[in-house]
Amino acid sequence: MRKVKVGITGIFLLISGLLMAQNVNRTPQGVKVNVAEGNFNAEVIFYSPSIVRIVKYPSVKDQMPDKESLSVTLVPEQTKIDFKEQGDDVRLKTSDMIVTLNKTDGTVRFTDTKNNELLAEKGTPSFYPNKGKADKGTYKVRQAFMLEKEEAIYGLGILQNGKMSQRNQRKYLMPGNVEDGITFFQSVKGYGLFWDNYSPTNFADDENETSFESEVGDCTDYYFMYGGDADGVVAQMRTLTGQVPMFPLWTYGYWQSKERYKSQNEVLGVLNKYRELQIPLDGIVQDWQYWGSNYLWNAMEFLDGNYYNPQQMLDEIHAKNAHMIITIWSSFGPQTKPYKELNEKGLLFNFRTWPLAGTDTWPPREDYLSGVRVYDAYSPVARDIYWKHLTRLYDLGMDGWWMDSTEPDHLDAKPEDFDTPTYLGSFRKVRSAYPLMAVGGVYDHQRATTSDKRVFILTRSGFAGQQRYGCNVWSGDIVSTWESLRKQIPAGLNFTLTGNPNFNSDIGGFFLGHYNKGWNDGSATKNPSYQELYVRWVQFGAFNPMMRSHGTEAPREIYQFGKKGEPIYDAIEKAIRLRYSLLPYIYSTSWQVTNKQSSFMRALMMDFADDKKVWDMNDEYMFGKSILVAPIVEAQYTPEVAATASEETGWDRDDNKNKSKGSMTVDFTTKKTAKVYLPAGTVWYDFWTNEKYDGGQEISRETTIDMIPLYVRAGSIVPIGPDVQYATEKNWDNLELKVYAGANGSFTLYEDEFDNYNYESGAYTEIPMTWNNASRTLTIGARKGKYNGMLEKRQFTVKTVDGNSKTVTYTGKKVTVKL
């Protein structure tokens, strides 16, 4: 046998190699590596071929911390992994991506299956021990990443920074009134990253790195997902954290609200006035203090005598084919039944919350504190108690819930407040998950009660995974300014890109004191400056998943702005009727959101990623996959007015010095112009005129006060519904199908029973439609599925943009229309 000489270096390398091999352990879903140099363990855990979890924790803990994710619902599926060690690297390849873990420094990088780099970690994780008693044994945790210089990223929740791409930003992420920070972003390169931590988290991006740093954690814990494009990433995020249930059809109609209706007679009077004026309306909202004083805050009962017969009120609302939702909060006054039961079990927090005073005076009187306290929504017992008391309203026939202050409100926050113990640890540890738990508690309890009525929740705050709880999140108590209107577009789009498709804002803005002559005198609705802003906000709201007018200091009903035949009134009416005409399109889109993981509000990069001009475009978007919306977001007829009200502190009523001064005469009948960019890669048609344009250019569009620029992409099939007073007034038995020639296209018309969960067991129909541009033929395919009450026979009037029209009878069998 030949003798082999091994030098000192060779022996060292041999021993190091053996030790290194011992530090790499295969697991059923991936690999675990002890990184000796960094004194931490790193685990790669595949949940699917396109979703992988990366967990790192100090070596003093031999096993991964036992952590139950509050956002993630996906159970790891068996995934085929090609495992290979190459030098210092452990390479794990699935059918969708490659994850490479460096055994020496523990860094991870992600590539597609063709080795194109997607994302790479920068450096090792940081674990700084928390010294406070409340979070003893935990760490402040941080991980940095490297992005390409020109790479655009999106998400991070509802932000009021007005930006589409979130590069070069620093944000303190947690739920708030007007901003909801979500620890998720996705890239134009087709990947997403969810940092699974619920404590307050700093996100930072600059030319050197991109990082998440959270105040409390047992480990760094994040999910990387590869979807190929923005829709794919949204789909992966929902696969990871939960799918979107269907809302009732009526929720997509028009909603009227204000701060606040003060009596049963006022509520019914508003509904009656809309029906008298024949303005479509489906929802009306009851805001706070129907319970009486602040000491009875959120009693979940009508204790104010002005609501003399709540059951009669709900019955009359329903008899007039409308629906009501009512505000409920995360806190309770000391004289309420829920407070007493929760307090007995130690399920109330002690930090200061809204309302501070027991009297409804301004400023709040510290000598008459309200005693209102927030409940521990992290506790399953507390959530049971919450629903138990909420059933008093549910049993009246209430149609949904306006869950306000689900951040929750936290006034004059002190560091020690975050030490407050909850069912799941310190408040600091789980701070960001509060809205997820509060909203989820109501959804789960109602679902357990009945499947005959879909859950609908309007709420002020959201977090990752909340899309699974039947909620629409609005952007909080924003101010009434043009700048604020402009910010709502990227706010809604970035929220959508976190996987949460349901967004809306207070149409007209919440605080408008600078448009009023005096506090709460309603003068703003007669102020031309505010009238113009309000109309443009209504037009934008018509292309949100929820169209809801709301605010303080002035009522917002259409008749407050004038009367029929006047430009402002007519413009508001036109926007509302436009919304109702698109209900078949909107409801079919809602099915695509639920069934195909699509989105309502679509940043232009979702559909036109090859056009770099749209990567950072923050004032246009697609509504569904056919309609481009370009809201007018700058004043054309009146001067813009600067904001004075505070979004964060709220209720700043001392704004006399900045009122709109004097009166002005404005001719709202004159024509103006606006610039619109049409993305490259398709032909576009003006929704109003059918005029045809090539994409990849900016055009100048003549505008009027009653018109919002809308463009439809070639190949689209857009169903137009009947003229109605409420969403379900008329069957869709004679729909107009508008066909936009110039490219092949398809559309699926979806219908079901409109307000129960029978669709989950297959009680729905789909009618597929395809347009062949070469043969100019629309094929209406055979109907799929069935449900009780479905239309057996109907007509479709098919119209093309060049004026051709044919009406056909459809009985569920394939029909071909040549145009």
CA atoms within 13 A on the CB side of 529: 21
The CATH class of the 256-269+284-469 domain is alpha beta
Q: Which of 205, 404, 553, 620 is catalytic?
A: 404
Q: d(Cα 357, Cα 369) in Å, to the nearest integer? A: 4
The backbone torsions φ and ψ at residue 584, rounded to the nearest 5 degrees and listed phi first, read: -60, -35
Say whether pLDDT at 15 is over 60. no
Q: Which of 420, 418, 425, 417 is nearest to 379 (CA)?
A: 425
Q: What is the mean pLDDT of the chain?
A: 94
Q: Do domains 8-189+191-226 and 256-269+284-469 have the same CATH topology?
A: no
For the stretch 659-669, what's the b/e string if a residue is b when 16 or more beta carbons lie within 10 angstroms of its beta carbon? bbeeeeebebe
Q: Which of 95-99, 299-303, 508-512 has the lowest mean pLDDT?
A: 508-512
Task: Please check whether residue 492 is in contact with residue 507, taking contact to mean a CB–CB distance below 8 angstroms.
Answer: no
Q: How confident is the model at residue 598 (pLDDT cuts 50, 70, 90)?
A: very high
In single-letter form, the type of residue at position 437 comes to M
What per-residue string of b and e applies to 12-28 under the rule 16 or more CB within 10 Å gives b?
eeeeeeeebeeeeeeee
Summarised one tens digit per residue, pLDDT across range 327-377 is 999 999 999 999 999 999 999 999 999 999 998 888 888 889 999 999 999
Active site residue 259: no
The answer to whether 406 and 459 are in contact (CB under 8 A) is yes
Q: What is the DSSP letter of 375?
A: B
- Does residue 355 have a cis peptide bond before it, meaning omega lies within 30 degrees of 0? yes
The yes-or-no verdict on residue 30 having pLDDT over 90 is yes
Which overall architecture, per CATH, does domain 8-189+191-226 show? Sandwich (2.60)
Q: What is the mean pLDDT of residues 554-583?
A: 98
In angstroms, the CA 239 to CA 192 distance is 13
* CB burial of residue 115 (10 Å; 0-12, 13-18, 19+): exposed
Instruction: State the helix-helix crossing angle for 264-277 and 310-319, rounded to 10 degrees.
Output: 10
498 Cβ contact partners less than 8 Å away, ≥ 6 residues apart = 155, 156, 157, 182, 184, 186, 237, 464
Confidence grade of residue 663 (pLDDT, cut at 50, 70, 90)? low
Query: What are the tens digits of pLDDT across the range 489-523?
Result: 999 999 999 999 999 999 999 998 778 766 556 78
Please pick, among 259, 282, 407, 655, the residue that the annotation labels catalytic: 407
- Return the CATH number of the domain spanning residue range 731-818: 2.60.40.1180
User: Are 496 and 472 within 8 A, CB to CB?
Assistant: no
Taking the C-alpha atoms of residue 461 and residue 439, their distance in angstroms, rounded to an integer, is 9
Domain ranges of the chain: 8-189+191-226, 256-269+284-469, 731-818
DSSP 653-681: ---GGGPPPS-----TTS-EEEEEEE-TT
pLDDT over 90 for what percent of the chain? Answer: 90
Residue pointed to by tokens 């022996």: 11
Q: Is 105 a catalytic residue?
A: no
Q: Which of 221, 477, 751, 755 is catalytic?
A: 477
Classify residue 704 by burial, with Cβ atoms within 10 Å: 0-12, 13-18, 19+: middle
pTM for this one?
0.95
- Tell me which amino acid residue 208 is: N
Residue 266 contacts by C-beta under 8 Å, 6 or more apart in sequence?
none
Peptide bond into 363 cis (omega under 30): yes
Residues 30, 224: contact at Cβ < 8 Å?
no
Catalytic (active site) residue 209: no
**Three-state DSSP state, 385:** helix
pLDDT band at 643 (very low <50, low <70, confident <90, very high): low
